[in-house]
Structure 1
């Protein structure tokens, strides 16, 4: 277990599995493309060509498919990250906040999704509000799940977390349980506390019809609540004077998340933020609680 040293969630604990990433991917674009062509022919042979590497990192690689690009091949070195992204696509299939998933292959840890090149200018208040609404949609998704999905993830319901032992990485179990009770009061006891999106300005894209979509959802978890995402939104806002203020972010989030069925008040949401920080060791709320 290590601590996040920088970024919006600095100070919180981060766990890594044993034998972390024993087989990293190549960072050479030419080699990555050669390997991707083999995987494409073997597991996604119907996908458009040509193939062009747009990112080659030791954990993930991404390849634009088609000219102009219409789809994206994504390859994971980390099985947990691949499974996390697939979980996100399954849990958010009806919410229209992720790119469209075309195909996937568990054995190669690859998936083909809609290619979205156009970013969203978060300096525009309307775009930042669209992002907040998309995040609130993720956080309330469990209220709209079909029964088969709700049953499959029933072990993560917040009422179970509120009465179970806190995770080993939590530094203040009483504060963690206070957080779980606040979340249960706001969303209901059968809520699954979905959150921890990999929110960055570059991960916010526009579809051709103007709708917003979030890319790179492999960090999504059904046990952390949506509070890390609200904190990250405040962090993004605090880092650029052209963005709306962190205070505006919290109030706008409150309006949208309640419009989607939650029952937060400004006071209980601020209390949940401070409880999350106390429980996890978070160094700063970046103005989200003000």
Structure 2
């Protein structure tokens, strides 16, 4: 899990070393737009109208396409981030929690997806509950995968990893194994712990079918568990004063149980505290209280 030192997962995150990305993208919007037009012509069948750069960062760039934007082009400099986002679209194709994917190009490390321009105000409890439901759908997705997908992801099943060596960024292996045992007991040994979403209020939008969707899935991983997402959601709730972190935990528990998981309050709180102990997380932001 790699991020900056601050934010909801401070302590559990690690800063990237200087120079970790050998071929960063241009941060000049005009240059980024020119490069995007070339990529669209070569790899996506044409420019689809005017191209406007929304963000130009060294890691990734985002462009909206058309006079009345209907498509987004997402470009990655980091191959792992591109593959992670492409994998997310493949693994969650039937969950309807992401924008629609039209095309992915490995050569240019780009994705062409629906443009979702309807933000969701998370200050309303009903909207926050919809977001929790969408996150719970992602966390339990492996229980509904086609057998072909499940077989391809079998190496990530929690039953296979509970006794394996923990990731290098884990500071207390015993607590990490305790966490995985609790996850396995609650969701089954064949569960793939899909999670580590880039959850921010601005990343929550509505699809045309009115379902809540997340517009950034590049951080998704099949080996972290969904607990960092629940902690982040509690942080978001606490920072805006509504709903309470305890309400977030109980609503999440209701949704994952409705989707087949066997968590209860005691086991979920135990898993949250085990995650914090294993990773050095500085705060659970009240979600365990």
- TM-score higher than 0.5 here? yes
Q: Tell me whether 202-211 or 180-189 shows the greater mean CA deviation.
A: 202-211
CA–CA separation in structure 2 for the residues paired with 1:224 and 1:17: 21
Shift of 1:257: 0.6
Q: What is the aligned length? A: 289
1:29-66 Cα offsets, whole Å, 9 max, x none, are: 11111110000000012452111111111111111111
Distance in 2 (alpha carbons) for counterparts of 1:38 and 1:121? 36
Q: What do residues 161-188 of structure 1 show as CA deviations (whole Å, max 9, x unaligned)?
A: 1111111211000100000000000000
Unpaired stretches in structure 1, ≥5 consecutive residues? none
Corresponding residue number in structure 1 for 2:221:
221
SS of aligned partner of 1:14: coil
Secondary structure at the aligned position of 2:224 is classed as coil
Corresponding residue number in structure 2 for 1:260: 259
Structure 2 length normalisation: TM-score?
0.97
Determine the structure 1 residue equivalent to 2:25. 25
Q: How far is 1:261 from its partner?
A: 0.5
Alignment of 1:1-290 (within 5 A): 4-14=4-14, 16=16, 20-46=20-46, 48-241=48-241, 243-290=242-289
Cα distance between partner residues in 1 of 2:150 and 2:18: 30
User: CA offset at residue 16 of structure 1?
Assistant: 4.9
Q: Distance in 2 between matches of 1:3 and 1:280?
A: 13
Matched residues in 2 for 1:92 and 1:266: separation?
27
Once the two structures are superposed, what CA deviation does each residue of 1:108-150 show, in whole Å capped at 9, x if it has no partner? 1011000001110001111100000000000000000001100
**1:209-235 residue CA offsets vs partner (Å, 9 max, x unmatched):** 321110110000000000000000000
Q: Output the aligned Cα RMSD.
A: 1.6
**What is the TM-score with the length of structure 1 in the denominator?**
0.96
What is the CA–CA distance in structure 2 between the aligned matches of 1:179 and 1:90, rounded to whole Å?
27
Contact 1:3 1:12 in 2 (8 A): no
Q: Helix, strand or coil for the counterpart of 1:113? A: strand
